[in-house]
């Protein structure tokens, strides 16, 4: 069967790309080894933070602002509430690179940002306790995305524009002959003019074995959990999403939505895994619970009672920057990989960028920071 574009990996980035390509009139096929949204990817766990004043670097800001616009467009197109403007509280030591980058990116792009000392943070949110030398950088315009609902929304829109989505369909071989791409799964062979690779934690192996592109991509097991919380104080209308840089690690969290409790996870660390092997469930690895509890004891001491935890995978790359680029040998193949645990918020804009790269070879938001040339 012949298509204009085939997308391998219909998760966060791939599903968005499928929508934009199908909307542009391209006959589009999405292939996924599972049935997105699912619990095998980095989108698992119901919610993700979207923040604008970016601690990882100013170069991300125009891209995340485009993503925010596109999430609003998705809400309007589907009639679903996918974004909750809870605000995001970023906490770290005053003068650290983390807090300096947030403040400088907010200043450069005129983003709303409230800077508070530790006492002011505690007065506004009494459940938070900080060391005296910490500050809080509060982004009132940022908040939470309902990650799995976002993917479902893009899935429905992509199909409404004629995209074909084949789930539980694993790619076994890729061949590139002149301007034609041949994809073989267990059951069928497909042909296309162009290809998008957005296979998450499976991208590294797929690119190296089938497309002659070795990249330092790995998969890491990550955990997060929900804890009982006073709904009057920690609900999403009263309490912000948060991102804490501490000596013990970088932790993030979400207020309680629909009575689910306070959600907490750790961004850094984690064990490297083979994505094809079963991951140990939350609590089966030493430190899963204890690590989150030590963070809560130090900074959110009212939160104690664990409700339940979950696991997901981060597709990691050493510099933790993204890869969004065309294949160096094949200009009809676009790649999105290595999102390193902070990519979901961008996935709407990544999907649009992949569509633009396939159609015109360029994107209107600068992608040079995410180029393959750095390797």
pLDDT (tens digit, 9 = 90+) per residue, 9-27? 999 999 999 999 999 999 9
Q: Can you tell me whether residue 352 is helix, strand or coil?
A: helix
Catalytic residue among 26, 43, 48, 222: 48
Confidence tier at 39 by pLDDT (50, 70, 90): confident
Tokens of 248: 């013990």
Confidence tier at 220 by pLDDT (50, 70, 90): very high
**Residue 11 exposure: Cα atoms within 13 Å on the Cβ side:** 27
Catalytic residue among 28, 47, 86, 218: 47
pLDDT at 292 over 80: yes
Q: Has 161 been annotated as catalytic?
A: no
Of the candidates 236, 49, 239, the one whose C-alpha atom is nearest the C-alpha of residue 150 is 49
Confidence at residue 329, expressed as pLDDT on a 0 to 100 scale = 96
Mean pLDDT of 64-86: 98
pTM over 0.85: yes
Catalytic residue among 44, 66, 221, 327: 44
pLDDT at 373 over 90: yes
pLDDT at 143 over 90: yes
- CA distances to 63, 128, 137, 244, 291 from 114, in Å: 22, 16, 6, 16, 29
Confidence tier at 44 by pLDDT (50, 70, 90): confident
Task: Detail the DSSP E strand segments found in the chain.
Answer: 2-8, 28-31, 48-50, 83-84, 88-93, 114-117, 134-139, 143-145, 164-166, 171-177, 180-185, 189-197, 218-227, 241-246, 249-254, 262-266, 271-273, 306-316, 323-326, 333-337
Round to whole Å and give the CA distance between 276 and 289.
25
Round to whole Å and give the CA distance between 118 and 3.
56
Round to whole Å and give the CA distance between 303 and 229.
6
Catalytic residue among 43, 312, 327, 342: 312
Round to whole Å and give the CA distance between 228 and 224.
14
Q: Has 44 been annotated as catalytic?
A: yes
Q: Has 263 been annotated as catalytic?
A: yes
| Peptide bond just before 87 cis, omega within 30 deg | no
Q: Has 307 been annotated as catalytic?
A: no
Report the 3 state secondary structure along 65-117. Answer: HHHHHHHHHHHHHHCCCCEECCCEEEEEECCCHHHHHHHHHHHHCCCCCEEEE
Mean pLDDT of 323-351: 97
Round to whole Å and give the CA distance between 178 and 301.
61
Q: Has 137 been annotated as catalytic?
A: no
Catalytic residue among 23, 52, 221, 263: 263
Q: Has 310 been annotated as catalytic?
A: no
Q: Are 200 and 9 in contact (CB under 8 A)?
A: yes
Catalytic residue among 222, 267, 321, 327: 267
Q: Can you tell me whether residue 124 is helix, strand or coil?
A: helix
Q: Are 353 and 324 in contact (CB under 8 A)?
A: yes
Confidence at residue 43, expressed as pLDDT on a 0 to 100 scale = 77
pLDDT at 190 over 90: yes
β-pairing, 48-50 with 83-84? Answer: unpaired
pLDDT at 45 over 90: no
> Is the backbone of residue 55 left (phi > 0), alpha (psi -120 to 50) or beta?
alpha
Confidence at residue 321, expressed as pLDDT on a 0 to 100 scale = 95
pLDDT at 41 over 80: no
Q: How many helices (H) and strands (E) does the chain have?
A: 9, 20
pLDDT at 1 over 80: yes
Round to whole Å and give the CA distance between 199 and 337.
7
Q: Phi first, then psi: give them for residue 18, nearest 5 degrees.
A: -60, -40
Confidence at residue 71, expressed as pLDDT on a 0 to 100 scale = 98
Mean pLDDT of 68-86: 98
Q: Has 221 been annotated as catalytic?
A: no
Mean pLDDT of 170-191: 96
Q: Return the percentage of the chain with pLDDT > 70, whole number.
A: 100
């Amino acid at each position: 069967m012949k298509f204009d574009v085939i997308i391998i990996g219909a998760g966060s980035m791939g599903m968005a790309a499928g929508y934009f390509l199908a909307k542009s009139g391209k006959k589009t096929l999405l292939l996924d080894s599972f049935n997105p949204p699912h619990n095998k990817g980095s989108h698992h766990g119901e919610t993700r933070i979207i923040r604008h004043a970016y601690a990882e670097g100013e170069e991300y800001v125009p891209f995340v602002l485009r993503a925010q616009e596109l999430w609003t467009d998705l809400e309007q197109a589907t009639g679903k509430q996918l974004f909750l403007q809870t605000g995001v509280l970023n906490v770290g030591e005053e003068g650290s690179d983390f807090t300096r980058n947030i403040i400088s990116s907010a200043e450069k792009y005129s983003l709303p940002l409230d800077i508070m000392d530790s006492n002011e943070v505690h007065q506004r949110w009494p459940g938070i306790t900080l060391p005296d030398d910490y500050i809080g950088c509060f982004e009132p315009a940022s908040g939470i995305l309902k990650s799995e609902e976002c993917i479902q929304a893009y899935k429905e829109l992509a199909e409404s524009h004629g995209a074909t989505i084949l789930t539980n369909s694993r790619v076994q071989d890729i061949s590139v002959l002149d301007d034609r791409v041949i994809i073989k799964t267990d059951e069928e062979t497909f042909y296309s003019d162009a290809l998008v690779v957005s296979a998450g934690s499976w991208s590294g192996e797929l690119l190296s074995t089938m497309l002659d592109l070795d990249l330092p991509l790995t998969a890491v097991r990550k955990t997060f959990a929900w804890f009982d919380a006073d709904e009057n104080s920690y609900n999403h209308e009263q309490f912000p999403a948060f991102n804490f840089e501490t000596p013990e690690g970088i932790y993030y969290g979400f207020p309680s939505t629909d009575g689910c409790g306070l959600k907490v996870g750790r961004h850094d660390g984690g064990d490297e895994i083979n994505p094809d092997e079963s991951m140990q469930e939350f609590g089966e690895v030493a430190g899963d619970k204890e690590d989150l509890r030590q963070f809560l004891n130090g900074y959110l001491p009212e939160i104690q009672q664990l409700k339940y935890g979950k696991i997901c995978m981060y597709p990691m790359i050493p510099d933790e920057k993204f890869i969004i680029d065309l294949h160096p040998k094949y200009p009809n193949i676009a790649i999105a990989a290595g999102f390193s645990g902070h990519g979901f918020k961008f996935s709407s804009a990544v999907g649009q960028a992949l569509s633009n790269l396939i159609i015109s070879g360029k994107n209107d938001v600068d992608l040079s920071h995410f180029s393959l040339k750095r390797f």
